Structure 1
Amino acid sequence: MMDLIQAIIMGIVEGLTEFLPVSSTGHLILTGDLLGFEGDRAKTFEVVIQFGAVLAVLVLYRHRFAKLLNFNMKKGSGLNALHVILAMLPACVLAVALRHVIKDYLFGSSTVLFALIAGGILMIIADRKKTVVSAEELDDITYKQAFLIGCFQVLSLWPGFSRSGSTISGGMLVGTSQKAAAEFTFIVSVPIMAGASSVDLLGSREFLTMHDLPLFLVGLIAAFVVGMIAVVTFINMMKKLRLSYFAYYRFALAIVFYFLLF
């Protein structure tokens, strides 16, 4: 029963934080430390529940993804598959090249706390810099902006920095609105998360057992349900809240967990 409660808690944390600019990986690492839910089994569980968050975005943006599959790349056609490919490219290349370095040196509570602070500083800079907005809506984003946002996404390879935090900040710095940057982040996150999680899952398949099936399913469902609610809520929040507010939350979280864990 305790395992299932931990699965629900971790699933809720994943669903709530995956698409917010607060770092889901950082929250999962810190929450796992507090719950004592660690080791190879816990890491495999974290990979599985990410699929719940991916599924939430696929369901909510199913019409947008169907449009991407047409591969219509004519000028003025709006967001298309090439935008997504350009945004994925930098992080994918570096993730493959530095995979072992990232796993060996950056997955720890202390490095996550530093990343929470560094990511928060970037978000404040993006929020306060007076950049001319040339892409108010998702379909206004250019190929150049998509690639530059992808370059900022490289920062999310540091656990705790946050994929959405780095890409939304990057989008705002290169001329997209906060809302357009957030929606673009959701779209791009699906193939990246699905690909990265699949690779990690293949590497951890020895830890997948029928005995743990209820644990993994409960966590996945919790992440899916909470993820759907979080995405809809976040998009509405982006119309009203400044990005800096999330940065202040990150600073507070880093301070709280520093005293809890060290």
Structure 2
Amino acid sequence: MDYINSIILGIIEGITEFLPISSTGHLIIAEQWLGARSETFNIVIQAGAILAVTIIYWRRLLDLLLGWRDPQNRDYAFKLIGAFLITAVLGLLVKKLGFELPENATPVAWALIIGGIWMIFAEWAAARRPPSSHITWLVAILVGIAQVVAGVFPGTSRSGATIFVAMLAGTANRAAATEFAFLVGIPTMYAASAFSLLKTVKDGGAANEDWTALGIAFVVSTVVAFVAVKWLLAYIRSNRFTVFAIYRIILGFVLLGMAMVGMIS
């Protein structure tokens, strides 16, 4: 049964990590019925999703690395690094201050609803701008800040926050905004996962893990995330994010109702 639960959680993580619907929110709700998982488990399944996106973008990453002499590549890479450093510095500051919201249904539900409304507004505003694929320094800075905000407020969605901040800040092209958000997310999420895993190992939290269940969840998360992201990248070429916004709003109100009647905490 534990292996089945690991597969279910791996599927949820794989689908929701890079779709703008909040992986944290979905996992918090899933754990209400499947049982809470360790920090190590959550880190491992997230690492599977990150690996999937790394595989999808390996050519782009290699091009940025090997094409450093090209001014356009160098400018794009510097902006990726800048966004990552902003996230890293602000993220460590937030950790040091100990600021985080409780991971229960009500704040997650409100984050889903507010995020859905925000997405609809961002799509509306971006449609009225001249089409642009250019990543400015303003976009890079705001994407770095958005990643920290998403980390503090469960249910916000890191991918959703960064994509729509980029669109509102001037990168009106959905594909370009999504690519930058995902590429920034790769080093950010690897660093966050490594930091959390080292802390967990140091505190002795990994000693009693079921590594078979972890391995199964990791593989499932990787495969499902690969399929989900490939689908998303094809979908947004000719479709808006509106369907995800509507889903978030409906799910948020459903969770509020379930919390009110005591079905979830």
On whether the aligned pair clears a TM of 0.5, the verdict is yes
Q: Distance in 1 between matches of 2:3 and 2:116?
A: 33
Residue in structure 2 matching 1:135, options 132, 137, 149:
132
**What is the Cα deviation at residue 30 of structure 1?**
1.1
Q: Distance in 2 between matches of 1:93 and 1:7?
A: 33
**What is the Cα deviation at residue 207 of structure 1?**
2.5
Task: Tell me the alpha carbon deviations over residues 198-230 of structure 1, each in whole angstroms, 9 at most, x when there is no partner.
Answer: 111112122224751101000000000001000
Q: Distance in 2 between matches of 1:151 and 1:22?
A: 19
Deviates more, 1:66-75 or 1:41-50: 66-75
Q: In the alignment, which residue of structure 1 is the partner of 2:21?
A: 22
Alignment of 1:48-67 (within 5 A): 48-67=44-63
Matching of residue 208 in structure 1 with residue 206 in structure 2 = yes
**What is the Cα deviation at residue 102 of structure 1?**
6.0
Q: Distance in 2 between matches of 1:144 and 1:104?
A: 26
Coordinate RMSD, CA, aligned: 2.1
Q: In the alignment, which residue of structure 2 is the partner of 1:94?
A: 90
Q: Residues 79 and 51 (structure 1 numbering): CA distance in 2 closer, same or farther, change over 3 Å?
A: farther
Matching of residue 69 in structure 1 with residue 65 in structure 2 = yes
Q: Distance in 2 between matches of 1:104 and 1:152?
A: 15
Deviates more, 1:172-181 or 1:61-70: 61-70
Q: Residues 204 and 56 (structure 1 numbering): CA distance in 2 closer, same or farther, change over 3 Å?
A: same
Q: Distance in 2 between matches of 1:106 and 1:133?
A: 40
Deviates more, 1:144-153 or 1:249-258: 144-153
Task: Tell me the alpha carbon deviations over residues 65-99 of structure 1, each in whole angstroms, 9 at most, x when there is no partner.
Answer: 11232472753337632121122233322211112
Matching of residue 145 in structure 1 with residue 139 in structure 2 = yes
Deviates more, 1:108-117 or 1:226-235: 108-117
Residue in structure 2 matching 1:218, options 209, 216, 220:
216
CA contact (8 A) 2:122 2:164 kept: yes
CA contact (8 A) 1:79 1:141 kept: no
Deviates more, 1:9-18 or 1:180-189: 180-189
Residue in structure 2 matching 1:45, options 3, 21, 41:
41
Task: Give 5+ residue unaligned stretches, structure 2.
Answer: none
Q: Residues 30 and 51 (structure 1 numbering): CA distance in 2 closer, same or farther, change over 3 Å?
A: same
Q: Distance in 1 between matches of 2:254 and 2:60?
A: 39
**What is the Cα deviation at residue 145 of structure 1?**
2.4
CA contact (8 A) 1:67 1:80 kept: no
State the AA in 2 paired with 1:107.
E
Matched position secondary structure for 1:85:
helix
Matched position secondary structure for 2:72:
coil
**What is the Cα deviation at residue 134 of structure 1?**
5.2
Task: Give 5+ residue unaligned stretches, structure 1.
Answer: none
Matched position secondary structure for 2:156:
coil
**Across the two proteins, how many residue pairs are aligned to each other?**
255
Q: Distance in 1 between matches of 2:75 and 2:218?
A: 29
Q: Residues 109 and 221 (structure 1 numbering): CA distance in 2 closer, same or farther, change over 3 Å?
A: same
Q: In the alignment, which residue of structure 1 is the partner of 2:264?
A: 261
Q: In the alignment, which residue of structure 1 is the partner of 2:10?
A: 11
**What is the Cα deviation at residue 144 of structure 1?**
3.3
Q: Distance in 2 between matches of 1:101 and 1:33?
A: 28
Matched position secondary structure for 1:208:
coil
CA contact (8 A) 1:56 1:227 kept: yes
Matched position secondary structure for 1:98:
helix
Q: Distance in 1 between matches of 2:176 and 2:159?
A: 12
CA contact (8 A) 2:106 2:255 kept: no
